[in-house]
Structure 1
């Protein structure tokens, strides 16, 4: 199966600091690839390179058979890439449904018509409601996101990402800051992601990683230390020495 996402020898430096080093891997439809490694290993920088937040000093990023290395974040989104961030980036005063509707309007190229009534696009309002229902948030459609629990805000972010109908979804520590009481809902949402999606997830919770991932990529000092199945990673002496411990 051809890769949805492919990195070829990707590098990034900040002055004398070599943050990512010759990173190559592929992500196929249906993959649940966990990106793990010690703090400072370069994980978030690598996701920034994939999504276009920062440029690369070497190598290439390919998305659905197209070289997108020089394309902007917005151009990559239009080609099927979506992501969430480690810290929520929601508009705090906007109701949850309106934020999803705005994402849908942009996806459909209607951003310039936001002065028109939402009622002018009933099919998009319906789609936004259905996304909220999928994540168990229908009761909060009119609630400003600042008034939602943090776990619910993370679910809104995932709904926003899926509103773009991505082929590749990047999740940067989706469980970060989520109280244990909300963790079950978020975990259920991760389990229910469309199977045809290729998902790359950064996560420090190893129980979550070994539950969700069918592949694990271990980054250490910016370079790929290992890439394999959860069982292969669990048994790897190099990974245990560098990250997992005994």
Structure 2
């Protein structure tokens, strides 16, 4: 199977703190890989390197066979990488559908056409509406995101990421802060992600991890402690001691 994302011996230090230690990882189409580990294990630092927020000190990142280690974030997005963040980064007063439409315009390289309304692109309008239907947000199309429940805001973030038609999707704690009442809708959206999409998810909710992931990578002190299918990880004594707590 074609590898879509490959990390080769990524290393990152902040002064004397060695946060990422020689991490290697591959994702292929359809993979659902969970990245877990105790607080301070280096998970967010690793994802920030993949997304382009941070530059590794050593090692390389390859997206669909292309070295993107020094590539800026917007170019990575155009090359097929999208992500959501642990804390929502939405425009609070902009209606949901308009935010999705803007993401579609960005994907098509049309955001410079400021003199043209989105109404000039009916196909993109229809695509935005289809995304909202798929994620259960149609009734909120005209609602400002600041007026949505937190779980619904997380769904909007996912809509913006999917609008880019990524090949690889990074999900940084999608359930963080989501009330239990909203969790079912988010879980349904995760289950319904395109099957050919490669997904790397950071999550502390172990029920979600073991339900969604086909493979789990455990980080500890910046290095890969263990990797394997959910049953292998559940039984691994090193993981049980270091993270699962029994």
Superposed pair shares fold, TM > 0.5: yes
Q: Shorter-chain-normalised TM-score: which range?
A: over 0.9
Q: Give structure 1 regions of 4+ aligned residues with deviation exceeding 6 angstroms.
A: none
Q: What SS does the corresponding residue of 1:94 show, helix, strand or coil?
A: coil
Please report the RMSD computed on the Cα atoms of aligned residues, expressed in angstroms: 0.6
Unaligned runs of 5+ in 2: none
Give the distance between the partners of 2:119 and 2:210, measured in 1 at CA.
44
> 1:119: how far off?
1.0
Q: How many residues align?
A: 246
Hey, what does 1:192 align to over in structure 2? 192
Hey, what does 2:60 align to over in structure 1? 60
Matches within 5 A, 1:91-240: 91-240=91-240
> 1:115: how far off?
3.3
> 1:2: how far off?
2.2
Q: What SS does the corresponding residue of 2:112 show, helix, strand or coil?
A: helix
> 1:113: how far off?
1.1
Greater mean alpha carbon deviation, residues 106-115 or residues 169-178:
106-115
Q: What SS does the corresponding residue of 1:224 show, helix, strand or coil?
A: strand
Q: What SS does the corresponding residue of 1:59 show, helix, strand or coil?
A: strand
| TM-score between the two structures when normalised by the length of structure 2 | 0.99
> 1:52: how far off?
0.3
Unaligned runs of 5+ in 1: none
C-alpha distance after superposition, 1:49-94 (max 9, x if no partner):
0010110000000000111101011111110000000000000010
Matches within 5 A, 1:10-89: 10-89=10-89
Give the distance between the partners of 1:29 and 1:245, measured in 2 at CA.
32
> 1:164: how far off?
0.1
> 1:47: how far off?
0.2
Give the distance between the partners of 1:55 and 1:10, measured in 2 at CA.
10
